[in-house]
Amino acid sequence: MTAAAWALDALLDDPATRTLICCGSGGVGKTTTAAALAVRAAERGRRVVVLTVDPSRRLAQALGLVDGGTAEPRPVAGVSTGAGGSLHAAVLDARATLDALVDDALPPERAAQLKRNPVYGSVAGSFSGTQEYMAMERLGQLREAALSGEAPWELVVVDTPPSRSALDFIDAPARLGRFLDGRLVTLLRRPSTPRAGLAAVPAAVAGRVTSSITGGVAAVMDKVLGGALLRDVQALVQGLDVVFGGFQQRALTTSAALAAPGSAFVVVTAAEADALAEARFLLERLARDRLPTAALVVNRATVLAPGAAHLGAEEAGRLAAVLEAAGHDRAAALLRLHAELALTAAAEAAAVQGLLGDHDAAAVATAAARPVDVHDVVALREVAADLARS
Ligand SMILES: Nc1ncnc2c1ncn2[C@@H]1O[C@H](COP(=O)(O)OP(=O)(O)O)[C@@H](O)[C@H]1O
Ligand SMILES: [Mg+2]
């Protein structure tokens, strides 16, 4: 059974569609797809904001997102607004988002102190999952701004971070909860000096076994980190505990909203084995969590020119041999190239079909591989047109 085509324009035109989330493994075209969908929606009359993560420099340039302050949505030039729509774009700035959370959650003095903490900078930049948490936070903020009617947008399109796993974004709130409830954080959360604080834990935690383990942890951490650093880490965790406590609540609210009507996930993949396996995993997970999946986007696909699509690989090969024998070398070479492309296209289609298996409930859309990177509004428009056509 072949998968259904994607009724993209019906989805974009439906005023009930309020949030689109582009997810998938790294490098498959999430950022491109998010920007392309946003351009098309805006040109069809929606007031749109797109939150990009790690756009290539040239795409960022085209979206007007190159110099400082690109975390706040800016209007994008070059988008047709004839239908009454508009497009704003922003880049996810995890550090700025976290700073703002800290400012909101703590009194000014403590907020400043926390942000000066030498460990804070590295945590903000590299803490596993920070990007996902902050993407969820920004999505929540942009949605709220849309719902309140204060913002010039009513449709939010989000790109997701280039995570190890495409599921990380969905898992972020729960993972943060587990982190906050974790043993290490519980230990570090205790106020007082590191040595006394950690040494005091065992009695509170209970049990002799635990006591010897935590005692060991304290000693090791003290040794590895050094007293001053350990104090910094501890102060950081105490501060972030308050910040993340409120944040996690909002993140859970946002992720719950993603399961409600009006939100749709777009799973982006390349037509090759690894990406397809990840996409299948993601489709299964979305289905299990009852998160609404709009479509599977097969990006950078081999697509034959419409006029030549009917000519199969075998037939093209036979014709090439005939032409070669007659001395028409150039025409023969073109036909051989066509035969090769037709084979690749067929193999890609089979791979996608193989992936879908019992997942053919998801609509499939294809965007052709372009000869050059997608880095301007014109190319984004063409990618979106591919998706709407397939
Ligand atoms: N259909 C396409 N044709 C040609 N290049 C593409 C296409 N889709 C994406 N690209 C390019 O591939 C690179 C990775 O795409 P990107 O959207 O940044 O992926 P991701 O966000 O998933 O990491 C970018 O340089 C982009 O311009
Ligand atoms: Mg990206």
The tens-digit pLDDT sequence of the chain (390 residues) is: 457 889 999 999 999 999 999 999 889 999 999 999 999 999 999 999 999 998 999 999 999 999 878 889 999 999 999 999 999 999 998 888 888 888 988 889 988 988 888 777 766 665 557 788 888 889 999 999 999 999 999 999 999 987 766 677 777 777 777 766 666 666 666 654 444 333 333 333 333 333 444 555 556 666 665 666 667 777 777 777 777 777 778 888 888 888 888 999 999 999 999 999 989 989 998 999 889 999 999 999 998 877 788 888 999 999 999 999 999 999 999 999 999 999 999 999 999 988 877 665 679 999 999 999 999 999 999 999 999 998
DSSP 76: P
Q: Is 256 left (phi over 0), alpha (psi -120 to 50) or beta?
A: alpha
For residue 162, the CA-to-ligand 2 centroid distance in Å is 6
Which atom from ligand 1 is nearest to the alpha carbon of 299?
A: 1
Query: Is the Cβ–Cβ distance between 170 and 289 less than 8 Å?
Result: yes
Which atom from ligand 1 is nearest to the alpha carbon of 34?
A: 17
Ligand with an atom nearest the CA of residue 135:
2
Give SS3 for 81.
coil
Query: In sequence order, what are the residues at sequence separation of 6 or more whose Cβ sits closer than 8 angstroms to the Cβ of residue 300?
Result: 28, 29, 270, 271, 367, 368, 369, 370
Q: pTM of the predicted model, to two decimals?
A: 0.85
Residue whose token pair is 């689109």:
20
- Say yes or no: CB of residue 162 within 6 Å of ligand 1: yes
Residues in the chain: 390
- Say yes or no: CB of residue 56 within 6 Å of ligand 1: yes
Query: In sequence order, what are the residues at sequence separation of 6 or more whose Cβ sits closer than 8 angstroms to the Cβ of residue 8?
Result: 37, 40, 295, 365, 384, 387, 388
- Say yes or no: CB of residue 28 within 6 Å of ligand 1: yes
Residue (of 262, 265, 97, 249) closest to 167 by Cα position: 265
DSSP 93: -
C-alpha Rg value of the chain to the nearest Å: 26
